[in-house]
Every structure is written in structure tokens, then in C-alpha cells.
Amino acid sequence: MPDHQLIVVGGGLAGLRAAIEAQEEGVDVAILSQVHPGRSHSGAAQGGVNAALANNPDGHDDSPEKHAFDTIKGSDYLADQPAALQMTTDAVPAIYQMEHWGCPFSRYDDGRISQRPFGGAGYPRTCYGADKTGHYLLHTLVEQTYRRQIRQYIEWFVCRLIVDDGICRGVIAYNMTKGGFEEFRAEGVIMATGGAGRTFAKTTNSMISTGGGAAMAYHAGVPLKDMEFVQFHPTGLYTTHILMTEGCRGEGGYLLNKDGERFMARYAPKAMELAPRDITARSIQTEIIEGRGIDGKDYVYLDLRHLGAEKLADRLPGTRDLAIHFEGVDPVYEPIPIAPAQHYSMGGIDTDVDGRTLMPGLYAAGECGCVTVHGANRLGGNSLLETIVFGRRAGAAAARDILGRERPLGPVKSGGEAGAAVESTIAELAAREGSEDFYAIREEMREAMFAHFGLFRDEATMKAGVDILLDLKQRLKKAKLRYTGSVWNLDMIRTMEFEGMVDVALATASGALVRTESRGSHARTDYTARDDERWLRHTLAYYQPDGGPPRLEYEPVELGLYEPQERKY
Ligand SMILES: Cc1cc2nc3c(=O)[nH]c(=O)nc-3n(C[C@H](O)[C@H](O)[C@H](O)COP(=O)(O)OP(=O)(O)OC[C@H]3O[C@@H](n4cnc5c(N)ncnc54)[C@H](O)[C@@H]3O)c2cc1C
């Protein structure tokens, strides 16, 4: 029964950065991850990470304040403004820290870190390592955790929080390689479990981005914030939805419809292909709906041919490989078929700027959390930034809280009963007389989310979507485990996590249905205008154990720096 002062759930960028910071502050910290940290979704990030370093000659007078302004405008004014400024101010030292730890950023001839333009940004401020930025950042941090000999429990699947007297005191995890459940006791837990992209069909997210960590916090009574804001990336590969990075457009790529027209001129005449993602994705979808997709089909072209083979080899080599291997198209010679795909969860576990949640002892950082700096629409390059900035802050805060406690918390009450309870739940799942196919239910949910809560939303479609989700929850009760072996039981993992996924999906759906306005990624055809009077506020969804939709509460957005304006690009 392993005991540590602090448990970090997740070995992506946010979790690793949090663990490093907590250990530097002097606490005994361990990381639990269902995959090797180097295989976390962070490693798939391509385009880059934002910081106002002002290295690019076109961005020499960039500043954290300008970065904050772009972030807040990009968020359609739903970001908490002091939090956004905190992130953009911490960004500069955060990038230099990664550089000092050896991250191989692309560089200018004078040795400074290169910066490329990205959507919605007034200055070229996206630092990158070719188109493998996430991979480079992630492996830099993996090395740092090895160097510090931070304890890592790899291929352990966390399935519940241990909560004693309202304080989070650890987790229960399934040992994937050996079988069995264990209680990990601690004085604090940081959730860094990534996004919930897999609740949708057509997503750029990896298999493990299921929102499981958010669901555990939610089931334990912690609210999820702003879940209705879901980012659809403009350029997923048409057949597999694999991401073609925004860096393609940052380097000068065009979007073309069936007539060969750069249609963004109609929607964002100044920013063109570098408008923010919500606007660009909707523009593509509008072209498709109005019959200007390629050959009348539901995709358009991302054209990189004019950039030339040399530039593609230097700046976008991985993107070219992905297009060749997964779409059969070589971008040096042919335009790439693309369509919008689910990409990012703006919402998540409600936290402050130090990762603290409503529950003492429970923290969150990275994509599973909601600080909130992205508001209704995240700018490209701000998410990698969020992981290293708020990962660090959460690690520091958890360590300070643990070391600063006047009285020790005392032993954890559960003497194995919490773990035993999970085991008996599993036994029940295995013994059920099941008539439903669990995997079919899961696919139905993902399709329903994309169809009913996609790029354009309206009341009737969303109401029908909520009904589908509630029905799926009922049907889930009749699904049983197919495989009952103790080792590597992925069937059990998928079943356990699905109960969380469907609740996370319902939080998204319920928040979206009630919000009668259009803001950022939440675009309604029946309420097309932003309504600051009624809706300049955050949604908080509280889980209802009776199986119904969540209870929704609202809280004001923290303003103070920039007055909300109309968003034009
Ligand atoms: C294809 C793609 C490209 C992207 N490109 C960019 C980009 O260029 N710039 C940018 O800013 N953002 C980008 N993003 C977004 C960004 O990469 C992510 O938001 C960010 O990396 C998330 O990091 P994280 O640490 O929060 O979670 P992740 O990296 O997703 O890590 C989650 C971790 O949690 C663990 N975990 C989850 N559940 C459990 C459980 N139940 N038990 C145990 N362990 C668990 C996993 O094993 C994993 O280690 C991209 C995203 C995608 C999908």
C-alpha cells in the first residue's frame, strides 16, 4: 500500500511539471500514469507554445500584456482576465526554463528561439521545435523526472479518489501489468489527466483522452466549469481526423474550396487563414454546408504546395509524413483534404490559478482543469503553455499546503475498504445479465456528441442529444464485462472510464443547451449573438448521483484589464 505525500495522476506535460516543482519544494511525490509518460497526448502536439519573447523581428515589441489581450479577445471575453495575464507573464520564464533543461527548440541564426505566427495572435509568438514541439517538451520533462529520481508508477490506471472527511487523501488504482487494485495514500492529489476529446466522434485526440480524471473529481462533488466550450480544430485529416497543425497556416498555407478560392477572405478579411480556430472551423463548415466542399463533399483543401519542398522539410516534416501515411497525399505536390475535428476541452475541473479545487487536498492542472484562461475559445499554442505554467503552480501550491500544515492530517481512514469496494463493483459488472453491447453504446455516445453538440448548435438538436445521453446511461446498466481476467483487462478499464465519460458528456450537453447565446466555440443558429448582459459568466456543473443531468450554477467572469468588445479579425 504505497504512501507518498503527494500523488500526481498523469504523466503528460502538466503532471510532470507539477511533480518536478513539488519535489523541488521538498515533498515526496509520485506520478501514476496509465501509459508511459512519453506516450501521453502532449507528445502529439505539433505547432508550438506561446510566450512573448519578442524574438521574431515582426514581434519585437510584443509583451505579456499583448499576449494576454489576444488570449482574452480569443476567449470571446470569457477568460478570467487576471488568470490570463498570470499565464502570459509566467510564460517567458517557463519557456526559458524548458530551454535550460535542454528542449531542442528551432532557432534563428543568432541562436535565439524561433517564433512563428499563429491564429488570433497579434504577433508571431509561437515558439516551436519544427512540428514536434509537444514531443520535445515532453521528453525534456521525462528526462528531468528521471534525473530527479521521481517515483513513477507506470501502467497503473487510477479509478477513484479516496476522500476522508471532505479531504482528498489519495487514489485507488488498478495495476495493469500484475492485476489487482491498490490504495495510494497521500496528503494531496493533483489531477493532470488531459482532455476529454474521446467523448466525441471525429477527434484529433488520442485513445486515452477520455476525460476520466475530470469525471473522478466530478463524481466526488467538485464542479466542472464551462464544459460547453469545445474546440473544433479547422484542419483534421479528412479520413482519420489526425491533426494537421495550425503551423501549416502559420507558415503560409492556404485554405481552398472547390473553386480554388481562398474563402477565408469572406469571413476574416484581415487575418485570413490565421483567424482564431472557432471562426476558421465554422468558415470551413459553412463552405461545406453551402456546397463549396471539394467535389461537393464534406472537406476542403489545405494547400502547402507554394511553400516548397525545402520549407516543408525544415518546418513541417512530421506533418508531411502524416499526410502521406494517413491520407495518401504528399503536400509537396498535392493539396491536403481536411475538415474540422474535435480538438480541445476548454472546460474542466474548476480551479484557481494555483490549481486548487473546491475540495481540500485536490488540485488539477493541464487540459483536465479549467483556470480559466481559454474561456470560450483557446488560441493555438496556449495549451502547451497552460500545462507548464499551471503544472508548475499546482505543484508548488500543493507542496506549500502539505508542508505548511499546522497539524498533521493523521492516518487515512480507509484500511483497504475503498479498494475492496471497487473490486466488488467490478465483480458485479462481470456477473451482470447483460443484453447491451458496451462498445456500441460508447460509439453511439461519441456520434451523438458530434452530431448534436458540434460546430453549430440549436435548441431542438441539443434537446434530442441530451435525451440520447440520458437513455445511454440507462442502457449502460445492462452492459456487462466481456473479459474478467485480472491482468491487462482493457475491457474493464474501458467500462469503468465510460461511466465517467458519459457524465462528462452530459455536463457539456447540459451547459450548452441552457446557454442561449453564441460565444467563441459555442455557436447557436437560434441565438446568433453574444449576450454579455446575461451570459458573461461561467457555468459550473455539479454531478447528480440520481443519474439525471447536472445542477448548473453560474459565477461572474473576472474582468479588470480589457473591456469586452466585438470580436473582429
Ligand atoms: C494532436 C494534438 C496536437 C496539439 N498541438 C498543440 C500545439 O501545437 N500547441 C498547444 O498549445 N497545444 C496543442 N495541443 C493541446 C495540448 O497538446 C494538450 O492540451 C496538452 O498537451 C495536454 O497535456 P496534459 O498534461 O494536460 O495531458 P496529457 O498530455 O493528455 O496527459 C494525460 C496523462 O494522464 C494520464 N492519465 C489519464 N487518465 C488516467 C487514469 N485514469 N489513470 C492514470 N493515468 C491517467 C495519461 O496516462 C497521461 O500521462 C494539441 C493536442 C492534440 C491532441
* Pocket-forming residues, ligand 1, beta carbon under 6 Å: 9-15, 32-35, 37, 40-42, 44-49, 133-134, 157-158, 192-195, 204-205, 208-209, 212-213, 243, 245, 344, 366-368, 380-384, 387
Average pLDDT over residues 271-298: 96
Indicate whether 427 and 528 sit together in one domain.
yes
> Which tens digit of pLDDT belongs to each residue from 341-376?
999 999 999 999 999 999 999 999 999 999 999 999
**Substitution site in 8, 42, 233 for ligand 1 pocket (most atoms within 8 Å of beta carbon):** 42
Instruction: Please state, in angstroms and rounded to a whole number, the distance separating the CA atoms of residues 227 and 215.
Output: 12
The three cell numbers of residue 209 are: 483522452
Establish if 423 belongs to a structural domain: yes
- For a mutational test of ligand 1's pocket, the pick from 202, 237, 384, i.e. the residue with the most ligand atoms closer than 8 A to its C-beta, is 384
In this structure, the number of other CB atoms found within 10 A of the CB of residue 464 comes to: 12
Nearest CA residue ID for atom 37, ligand 1: 193
Range(s) of the domain holding residue 295: 235-340
| Nearest-angstrom CA–CA distance, 284 and 290 | 10
Judgement on whether residues 327 and 431 belong to the same structural domain of the protein: no
Residue of minimum CA distance from atom 5 in ligand 1: 45
Pick the residue whose CA is nearest to atom 24 on ligand 1: 194
326 inside domain: yes
CB-based burial label for 146 (10 Å; 0-12, 13-18, 19+): exposed
| Phi-psi category of residue 252: left, alpha or beta, with phi > 0 → left and psi -120 to 50 → alpha | left
pLDDT of 281: 97
The answer to whether residue 271 is domain-embedded is yes
Q: In CATH, what number is assigned to the domain containing residue 453?
A: 1.20.58.100
Q: Please name the residue whose Cα sits nearest to atom 14 of ligand 1.
A: 45
- Ligand 1: distance of its center to the CA of 135 in Å? 11
Pocket test for ligand 1, best of 235, 383, 392, 422 (most atoms within 8 A of CB): 383
Ligand 1: centre distance to CA 363 (Å):
17
With cell 499546503, the residue in question is: 401
**Residue 179, domain member (yes or no):** no
Classify residue 466: in a domain, yes or no: yes
Mutate which of 39, 41, 368 for ligand 1? The one with the most ligand atoms within 8 Å of its CB, which is 41
Rounded mean pLDDT, 260-265: 98
Catalytic residue among 125, 198, 277, 524: 277
For the chain, give the mean pLDDT. 96
DSSP notation for 466-505: HHHHHHHHHHHTTB--S---SSS-HHHHHHHHHHHHHHHH
Residue 161: C-alpha distances to residues 157, 186, 402, 532 (Å): 12, 11, 18, 37
Q: Judge whether 511 lies within some domain.
A: yes
Q: What is the pLDDT of residue 1?
A: 62
What distance in Å separates the CA atoms of residue 145 and residue 84, rounded to the nearest whole number?
Answer: 28
Backbone dihedral angles phi then psi of residue 435, each to the nearest 5 degrees: -110, -10
Domain end: 340, 366, 387, which one? 340
Confidence grade of residue 298 (pLDDT, cut at 50, 70, 90): very high
525 shares a domain with 422: yes
Nearest to 482 by CA among 473, 494, 472, 469: 494
Mean pLDDT over residues 20-46, rounded?
97
Protein residue closest via CA to atom 21 of ligand 1: 42
Which of 340, 373, 389 marks a domain boundary? 340
**35: CA distance to ligand 1 center in Å?**
12
pLDDT at 64 over 70: yes
Instruction: Give the residue, by CA position, lying nearest to ligand 1 atom 33.
Output: 10
In Å, how far from its chain's centre is CA 470? 24
* Dist CA 365 CA 355 (whole Å): 6
CB 273 within 8 A of CB 218: no
The mean pLDDT of 65-93, rounded to a whole number, is 98
Q: Is residue 66 part of a domain?
A: no
pLDDT above 80 (res 396): yes
Residue 299 belongs to a domain with what CATH number? 3.90.700.10
* Distance from residue 412's CA to the centre of ligand 1 (Å): 31
Does residue 407 register a pLDDT over 90? no
- CA distances to 184, 340, 459, 516 from 526, in Å: 49, 21, 7, 8
Nearest CA to ligand 1 atom 9: 381
Task: Determine which residue's CA is closest to atom 49 belonging to ligand 1.
Answer: 11
Omega before 193 within 30 of 0, i.e. cis:
no
The tens digit of pLDDT for each residue in 229-251 reads 999 999 999 999 999 999 999 99
Cα→Cα distances 341→173, 471, 507, 516, Å: 32, 25, 20, 24
Q: What is the pLDDT of residue 408?
A: 82
Assigned C-alpha cell, 411: 492516518
Cα(41) to centroid(ligand 1), Å: 4
User: φ, ψ for residue 538 (rounded to 5)?
Assistant: -90, 145
Q: What is the pLDDT of residues 46-61, one digit of tens each?
A: 999 999 999 999 999 9
Ligand 1 centroid to Cα of residue 224, in Å, is 18
Q: Inform me whether the pLDDT recorded for 556 exceeds 70.
A: yes
Residues 422, 336, single domain; the answer is: no
CA distance 507 to 205: 19
Q: Is residue 151 flagged as an active site residue?
A: no
Residue range 103-119, pLDDT digits in tens:
999 999 999 999 999 99
2 three-state secondary structure: coil
Q: Report the pLDDT value the prediction gives residue 124, as an integer from 0 to 100.
A: 96
Atom from ligand 1 closest to the CA of residue 50: 11
* Distance between Cα 43 and ligand 1 center (Å): 8
Q: Mean pLDDT lowest for which of 81-95, 140-154, 374-388, 429-443? A: 429-443
- Phi, psi values for residue 565, rounded to 5°: -130, 170
Q: Can you give the pLDDT at residue 250? A: 94
Does 9 fall in a domain?
Answer: no
Say how many Å lie between the CA of residue 167 and the centre of ligand 1. Answer: 27
Q: Which residue has the higher pLDDT, 432 or 449?
A: 449
Same domain, 523 and 428: yes
Task: Supply the pLDDT for residue 415.
Answer: 72
406 has pLDDT over 90:
no
Number of domains comprising the chain = 2
Question: SS3 of 507, please?
Answer: helix
Query: Which atom of ligand 1 has the smallest separation from the CA of 173?
Result: 42
